[in-house]
Amino acid sequence: MPSGDDDLWQIPLTLAYGAGDAVHRTDEVFDTREVRIDVEDPVEWVLANAGGHGYYRSRYSPDLLERILERLDRLSALDRYGLIDDMWACVIAGQTDIGAYLDLLTRFGNETEHAVWTAIVESIRQIHHTFDPSPAFERYVRDLLTPAAKRLGWAPHPEEDGLTRRLRGLLISALGRYGNDGQVRARAIELLPAVFDHTLDPEVAQAVINVTADAGLADYETFFSEYERAETPQDENRYLYALPLFPDRALVERTFAMALDGRIRTQNAPFVVELLLANRSASRVAWDLYTHHWDDQVRAFPPSLLKRTLGTLWTLSDMADEVHAFFDRRTVRHAEKAVTQELERLDAMAAFRDRASEQLVVYLTE
């Protein structure tokens, strides 16, 4: 709560703690500014909000965090997810150094859970979209993700569950897109014919499509043709939502035009525009198109869909003042709250960019 606020709230608190192989849990109600919890057993580590049921963030001292990290195998997948998610939120809020967070992620090399890797990759995606391109960060991403990706390989095993298959696709896509991994990109190009022949695992196929489109290594015309003749909604969406990933300016302009002229259905077009705004290689072009054709979008998209274009405004942190000025002069019917929320997120990411740029450089050059 804000400093100086006299209001107190009752906060349910579940603590996990332990020593050696023993893990204990205790449920408490935190209804004072400070609370002391006495336990009988020795305590080597303690985790707040065990189970993730509380609607609050937890931040740890460096010493306590190290104790937790030394015992990651004692934590459930949900608690490992929560540890990453909470620390990333603290980074965005300016309460934790980004270098400390990136160092934390290196401790998850043996992680196998899809949900935990999803949290890791999402934070990598946000860093990728927020800061200037950096070979050092791309190398960090490769070092972080490659061991897990190699364990899974490119082809699923018959006994694999669906989440393992999804994890494979997630790691391949992240390595190719955020890690600029030359080997992954080369293999993705080799596998494109298998994608078109429908002989590739669907999760790997999606990753191959995204990696080759994002790097500009695939043929736009081929992807567009596959979109037009797709026989299933899944195939249609795979190719449709890859079109905004191509980095070429002329292709960005073409995709934006199709979102407005009916060649892309109205229910899909706002999501295409949203992805165009998040195209790091062409965000300036996409934003100029977005603002120039705002009235066209208002006419083409119903309000419930128009607000879907706002979801990636946070990626424009280097243009935050310009984005604010644009929406200050306009009202988005039935989406006023959504606009406010997305602009707040944009401001948070812009502040994060200003605050953490030097931190990131220092960490990556140490």
Answer yes or no: pTM beyond 0.85.
yes
pLDDT value at residue 344: 98
Percent of the chain at pLDDT exceeding 70:
99
- Cα 96 to Cα 170: distance, rounded to the nearest angstrom: 26
Single out the residue in 44, 74, 108 at which a domain terminates.
Answer: 108
* pLDDT of 6: 73
Residue from 346, 316, 364 nearest 99 by CA: 364
Q: Yes or no: say if 279 and 247 are a contact pair by the CB < 8 Å rule.
A: yes
**CA separation for the pair 239, 241 (Å, rounded):** 6
Which CATH number belongs to the domain containing residue 304 in this structure? 1.25.50.20
* Structure tokens belonging to residue 41: 């057993």
What pLDDT digit, counting tens, does each position of 305-354 carry?
999 999 999 999 999 999 999 999 998 989 999 999 999 999 999 999 99
Q: State how far the Cα of 149 lies from the Cα of 171, in Å rounded to an integer.
A: 6
List pLDDT tens digits, range 261-307.
999 999 999 999 999 999 999 999 999 999 999 999 999 999 999 99
Residue 101 inside a domain? The answer is yes
Position 154 scores a pLDDT of 98
Rg for the chain, CA atoms, rounded: 23
Model pLDDT, residue 10: 86
Q: Which domain holds residue 265?
A: 232-357
Q: What is the pLDDT of residue 21?
A: 82
- The answer to whether residues 209 and 191 touch, using CB atoms and an 8 Å cutoff, is no
Alpha-carbon gap, residue 166 to 204, rounded angstroms: 8
Q: In the chain, how many H helices and how many E strands? A: 17, 3
Express each pLDDT in 112-154 by its tens digit.
999 999 999 999 999 999 999 999 999 999 999 999 999 999 9
> What is the total count of domains within the chain?
2
Q: Are 227 and 200 in contact (CB under 8 A)?
A: no
Q: 116 in a domain, yes or no?
A: no
Give the CA distances from residue 261 to residues 237, 238, 255, in Å, rounded to whole numbers and listed in that order.
18, 21, 10
pLDDT at 4: 54
Report whether 292 contacts 258 (CB < 8 A).
no
The answer to whether residues 326 and 343 touch, using CB atoms and an 8 Å cutoff, is: no
- At 226, list the tokens: 């596959």
211 domain-assigned: no
Q: Tell me, yes or no, whether 308 lies in a domain.
A: yes
Q: Which one, of 246, 207, 239, lies nearest residue 223 by Cα?
A: 239
Q: Which residues contact residue 60 at a Cβ distance below 8 angstroms, ignoring those fewer than 6 apart?
A: 48, 68
* pLDDT of 23 strictly over 90: no
Calculated CA dihedral for residues 31, 36, 39, 40, nearest 10 degrees: -140
Q: Is residue 320 part of a domain?
A: yes
pLDDT attached to residue 1: 44
- Whether 58 contacts 43, CB under 8 Å: no
**CA-wise closest residue to 55 among 97, 85, 76:** 85
Lowest mean pLDDT among 55-59, 189-193, 356-360: 55-59
- Average pLDDT (233-253) is 98
> How many CB atoms sit inside 10 A of residue 41's CB?
11
Contacts of residue 70, defined as CB under 8 A and 6 or more positions apart, other chains included, come to 45
Task: Indicate the residue type of 306.
Answer: L
CA distance 125 to 174: 8
Question: Does 176 map to a domain?
Answer: no
- Banded pLDDT at 42 (limits 50, 70, 90): confident
> Which of 56, 75, 108 is the C-terminal boundary of a domain?
108
Q: For residue 184, tell me if it sits in a domain.
A: no
Residues in CB range of 193: below 8 A, 6 or more apart: none
H or E element, residue 300: helix 294-300
pLDDT at 5: 65
Tell me the pLDDT tens digit for each residue of 203-213.
999 999 999 99
Q: Which residues of 44-57 are buried (b: 16+ CB within 10 A; e: fewer)?
A: ebbbbbbebebeeb
Residue 240 has pLDDT above 80, yes or no: yes
Mean of pLDDT over the chain: 95
Q: Domain boundary at 60, 81, 108, which? A: 108
52-86 pLDDT, tens digit per residue, is 988 889 999 999 999 999 999 999 999 999 999 99
Residue 165 lies in a domain: no
Arithmetic mean of pLDDT, 154-182: 98
Give the separation between CA 112 and CA 149, rounded to whole angstroms: 10
Taking the C-alpha atoms of 221, 133, 120 and 125 in order, what is their torsion angle to the nearest 10 degrees?
-40
Read off the amino acid at residue 31. D
